[in-house]
Amino acid sequence: MSEHNWHSLVKEKLFSILKSDINGLNSIEVAKRLEQYGKNELPKKKGVSSFIIFLEQFKSPLIYILIIAGIISLIFLDKIDAGVIFTAVIVNTIVGFFQEKKAQNALAELRRAVVIKTRVKRDGEELEIDAKDLVIGDIIVLEAGDKVPADARLLFAKKVQVNEAALTGESWEVDKDTKILDREVAITDRINMIYMGTVFTSGKAEAIIVNTGLNTEIGKIASMLQDVEEEDTPLQKRLEKFSRQIGFGVLAIVLFILFFGVYLKHDFFEMFEIAVAVAVSAIPEGLIVALTVVLAIGMQKILKQNGLVRKLVAAEALGSTTVVCTDKTGTLTSGEMRVTEIITSDFHFDTLENMDLSHAKQGWSDIIEVLKIGVLCNEAVVEHEKESMKHVKIFGNMTEKALLRAGMNFGLHRNKLIKEYPELDIIPFDSEKKYMATLHKSTSQRGVLYVKGAPEKILEKASYYWHNQKKVKINDQVKKNLQKKFEKLSGDGLRILAFAYKNFVMNKDEFDEENINDLVFVGFIGMKDPIREGVKDTIKLCNRAGIKIVMITGDHKLTAKAIANEVGIDTKKYKVIQGEDLEKISDKDFYEQVDKISVYARVTPADKLRIVKAWQHRNDIVAMTGDGVNDAPALKSANIGVAMGSGTEVAKGASDLVILDDHFSTIVAAVQQGRVIYDNIKKVVLYLMSDSLAEVLIIIFALVVGWPLPLLATQILWINIIDDGLPGMALTLDPEDPGVMKEKPISIDSGVISNENKILIVTISLITAVSTLFLFYYFWQSTGNVNSARTTAFTGLALSTLMYVFSCRTLRHDFFASLKIKNWYLIGAVLIGLVLQLMAVYVPFFQKVFHTVPLGIAPWVAIILQGILIIAVVEFIKGLYLVRFDKKK
């Protein structure tokens, strides 16, 4: 039945189509409709099983290469190599599994297993049932605090206001009534309709259910998630590309060694075994474990900053973010209204700068009078009012709660004032009248009428204005000046209310709408949802880091622009556009214009999805924030979906990152940590690949020139253990480098190995291989002892690798500056590696295993010089990059 324009139908037509009446349905009809339409619930996404999470850890091409290498090692009965390789796979799987399982469990704990109840008219009685048992045609009864259980058309409404944040993303209350509307009215302006997931904040109502489950507006959004494909993260794409390169490289090495060896008349099976051994040594088996540990540590650090990363690979993707599309309400702003300005005829008080009236030396009595009216002419309810507001609960709409809090800030407590001025009667706020009035008793014979409402309405009804504790006849010039004041504040994005009063003779005057005239205007109060602390500085940090901030809101264009300007989003250089204007732009034109738009106002869920796609079309990495069900498709489509901790479960389920404290600064802190993760990954790759490539070059050169092998298989394995193992892992624990947020975002096209690191890998590998081959050749020729020469080469390669690990830590600092950035794990790993290598050379048991001999002074001098040479060359190349980096800053 979802095709009907329910908002434009008269009641009789509604009842006719839905086959219901004001008394509701009977039990027999309810059973039929439950059978026909099903339960009133959205399909629940099944939690990912532990087994599936376990299997997900194997979905990496690098893992596939390691498994193949391990199987080949087993075929050739090389159990040690196979054991090391499979250990790397197992460690990666275990670490990844427990991290993702922990994140899933933490998210499950955030969910509230609440069964929503609703009151419904059935069989001539009013019953309370589970919301999931509602059917089309049911008559429901709602009041303040109730969650709307399905889409419904209002039949009766008294002072109804609804918070539609779950649907629209904006937390303003929407006034509702039963007025019949035109067919063309947009969904956001259908004031006679209420929607599943929204919340009654005030009033009472009866409504008839018109859609349930997936046919509701929220259900349609939830079903959109099934059509949205998830993007691979940048790390997944980079690892896939890197693994292909490793795979082809290893295959080329195997084929070269095999066929070249056969060409030189070596035994085919012997050459195949050597080729496989070299290929296995070329695969940095420590890399996959180090990557997993880097991501796991990053997840934990992000969690400490109140960000819950749901998938391991998503942690690094944050560092690649180039665009952050963020909600306004509750993310950039606090999510609740606050009084920020109090304006009288000749005084302006800023409450954000001054939190008490001691700063108001002039006009303080006029300000008190404005606040007093705001507190008394108010329908919000205060529970357990105290001098301190920390533990006070206020129930009501956002505007009225803000007025009570402002009054309490200045010592005006409603419960005390009501005792002094008892409330006798009330004219509720009405969207047509645009004002509210309350009558209070001041003496036995006299009362006072307090009024608040739209500035233009109150000024229209005012004959006087309050000035220096007395009423003064108002004139056109005064009204004109007052009008300029509230128009300026409205232009700044504030919500403005005017306040007035009128003395009332108890037994003479009639309290009705006709008597709301000849008012004494007292002042204006300006309210807004204030900017969260730290947001401005965070956006400045993003600008320096080359991250574009795009604000997306359901609010009005002027309000959106004012907030954007306040937080530091450029609206002069970039456009501010409304959803209705966006609809008129073709996809092709939008793709060309998207980078010139910084603020979107009055947008729909489809608009959000379109914005994400447009940025992705430009190869940008997009982080999209959201909390409502309406945000879920865009969250799922974005490279990084960021849900608010206070948001809906649908939004959290579609996200990659959950911000537990709802702060925008937490998002950027997570992005910063993502860059640290990528930075540490680059260090590990640089270090491990340099070592692996050097080993391959040494073996290939020796085979080509016909030398004895400078390194034996067991020695290569030992070097991989002491150099790639602990030092590689220790690099993952490197402290954060502040320079990460001074650089532009990581390009989506960049690989695991950056261009700078490619040059360094080649340079380090060549200088290491050449120097190691020189050591081997020199001591082989000078001593005639191959084992002595091989021990020197073995030790030289092992220790020089342990030395240049400090140069691999950063391209932003030289060797000595990097030593100041303490990483005790790395220092400990290097010392352990040194001790283990000494054991391999001098302990008899290990001498037999590795075919080593004790070294004298000359080899040690040569080994130390080799390490210094490698560091000097690496630092020279880094120096060239440091100069370029300084110019970029």
Catalytic residue among 78, 81, 138, 327: 327
d(C-alpha 603, C-alpha 193), whole Å: 19
Residue with tokens 């796609």: 613
CA angle centred on 641, ends 640 and 644, rounded to 5° = 135
Q: How far is CA 509 from CA 421, 439, 505, 506, 519, in A?
A: 18, 11, 6, 6, 14
Which residue(s) pair with 478 in the sheet? Answer: none
CB count, 10 Å around CB of 119?
A: 16
Residue that is written with structure tokens 């944050």 in the block? 318
Cα distances (angstroms) measured from residue 322 to each of 596, 612, 617, 666, 770: 14, 12, 13, 16, 41
Tell me the C-alpha distance between 14 and 537, whole Å. 53
Contacts of 830 (CB under 8 A, 6+ apart): 727, 802, 805
Residue 425 annotated as catalytic: no
Burial of 21 (0-12, 13-18, 19+ CB in 10 A): middle
| 554 alpha-carbon distance from chain centroid | 19
> Positive or negative, the Cα torsion across 722, 726, 732, 735?
negative
Which residues touch 3 (CB under 8 Å, ≥6 apart)? Answer: none
Pairing mode, strands 657-659 and 640-644: parallel
How would you classify the pairing of strands 199-211 and 151-163? antiparallel
What is the amino acid identity at position 609? L
Other residues' Cβ atoms within 10 Å of the Cβ of residue 284: 25
DSSP 329: I
Residue type, 454: A
Q: How far apart are CA 42 and CA 113, in angstroms?
A: 15
Rounded CA separation 222/66 (Å): 40
Cβ distance 523 to 366 under 8 Å? yes
Residues paired with residue 375 on neighbouring β-strands, in sequence order:
none
Question: 512 exposed, middle or buried (CB, 10 Å; 0-12, 13-18, 19+)?
Answer: exposed
Contact 103, 310 (CB under 8 A): yes
Question: How large is the greatest C-alpha to C-alpha distance in the chain, in angstroms?
Answer: 125
DSSP string spanning 694-755? HHHHHHHHHHHHTPPPSS-HHHHHHHIIIIIIHHHHHHTTPPPPGGGGGSPPPPTT--SS-H
Query: How far, in Å, CA of 813 to CA of 881, rounded?
Result: 10
Half-sphere exposure of 46 (CA within 13 A, CB side): 4
Euclidean distance between CA atoms 740 and 735, whole angstroms: 12
- Which residues partner with 527 through β-bridges? 339, 495
Q: Give me the amino acid identity at 1.
A: M
Q: Where are the beta strands (DSSP E) in 374-530?
A: 381-383, 393-395, 423-427, 435-441, 446-453, 462-467, 470-473, 495-505, 519-528
Q: What are the catalytic residues?
A: 327
